């Protein structure tokens, strides 16, 4: 059996789409999945990446694109009333249901549906209270979104993801290999199917490819 680590942040619409698509793409395979909530903003900041929401035309395109993708793959997706938003309360709520940084599919799905179905404000106080109640049977004794343990687990998950080379979500790690994005799912399937391409040189060779761009000082704008 192959073991897959699914890195996600509930603020990402692509994480929701991939969460729903994963069982169909991997149908017939023997595998297990652990869902690891991480702070996407920290992953982006590590590489100086503003993310799609940091570029106005790309922000509009991203929202348009994910709404269409939801329609195309049959996954209900409505943009929340505000986006982006600070996902920390949701990430910590999810990890109040964890002992080791991993959450189960029920918890992950509950959080993702909270954000991506209904078009409401993901951080509305009444909705957060209802969300906590919905997850009450999953929460560890004495833990909630404000406890120290969920905060520590989120920090540890994010640091582990950074160390593994995760630069965005959704990301899937198996056998030390990372697959990124909704459109990386067919490639993940091919690897799990034993596609011989993964035994060849191309996976590692691309990391050695020389860049044609000159080194750039962060303080000096490109001319």
In our burial notation (b when 16+ CB lie closer than 10 A, e otherwise), range 1-22 reads: eeebbbbbbbbbbbbbbbbbbb
> Which pLDDT band, with edges at 50, 70 and 90, does 222 fall under?
very low
- Tens digit of each residue's pLDDT (9 = 90 or more) over 143-183: 999 999 999 999 999 999 999 999 999 999 999 999 999 99
Question: Domain holding 108: CATH number?
Answer: 3.40.30.10
Q: Which of 6-20, 114-128, 153-167, 203-217 is predicted with the least confidence, judged by mean pLDDT?
A: 203-217
Top-confidence residue, 36 or 223: 36
Q: Residue 65 domain-assigned?
A: yes
Q: Is residue 120 part of a domain?
A: yes
Residue 96 and residue 139 in contact, taking contact as beta carbons nearer than 8 Å: yes
pTM, two decimals, is 0.94
* SS3 call for 200: coil
Residue 216 domain flag: no
Number of structural domains the chain divides into: 1
Query: If DSSP states are collapsed to H, E and C, what string results for 78-92?
Result: CCCCCCCCCCHHHHH
Residue 215 confidence (pLDDT): 79
Q: In this model, does residue 219 exceed pLDDT 70?
A: no
In a domain, 151, yes or no: yes
> For residue range 52-65, what is the model confidence (pLDDT) as tens digits?
888 999 999 999 99
Per-residue confidence at 218, pLDDT binned at 50, 70, 90? low
CA separation, residue 125 to residues 83, 109, 128, 131, 210 (Å): 16, 20, 5, 10, 50
For residue 157, being part of any structural domain is answered with yes
DSSP assignment letter at 135: T
Q: Tell me, what's the pLDDT at 217? A: 62
pLDDT in tens, 66-123: 999 999 999 999 999 999 999 999 999 999 999 999 999 999 999 999 999 999 999 9
Question: Which residue segment(s) compose the domain that 150 sits in?
Answer: 2-200
């Amino acid at each position: 059996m192959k073991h897959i680590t699914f890195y996600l942040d509930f603020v990402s619409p692509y994480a929701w789409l991939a969460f729903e698509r994963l069982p169909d793409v991997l149908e017939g395979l023997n595998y297990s999945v652990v869902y690891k909530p991480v702070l996407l903003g920290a992953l982006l900041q590590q590489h100086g990446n503003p993310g799609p929401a940091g570029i106005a035309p790309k922000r509009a395109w991203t929202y348009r694109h994910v709404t269409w993708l939801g329609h195309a793959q049959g996954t209900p997706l409505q943009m929340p009333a505000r986006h982006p938003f600070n996902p920390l309360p949701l990430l910590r709520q999810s990890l109040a249901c964890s002992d080791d940084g991993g959450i189960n599919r029920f918890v992950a799905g509950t959080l993702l549906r909270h954000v991506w179905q209904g078009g409401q404000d993901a951080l509305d106080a009444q909705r957060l209270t209802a969300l906590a109640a919905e997850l009450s049977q999953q929460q560890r004794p004495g833990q909630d979104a404000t406890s120290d343990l969920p905060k520590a687990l989120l920090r540890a998950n994010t640091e582990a993801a950074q160390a593994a080379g995760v630069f965005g979500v959704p990301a899937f790690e198996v056998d030390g290999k990372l697959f990124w994005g909704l459109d990386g799912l067919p490639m993940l399937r091919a690897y799990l199917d034993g596609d011989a391409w993964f035994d060849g040189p191309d996976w590692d060779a691309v990391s050695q490819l020389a860049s044609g761009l000159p080194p750039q000082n962060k303080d000096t704008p490109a001319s």
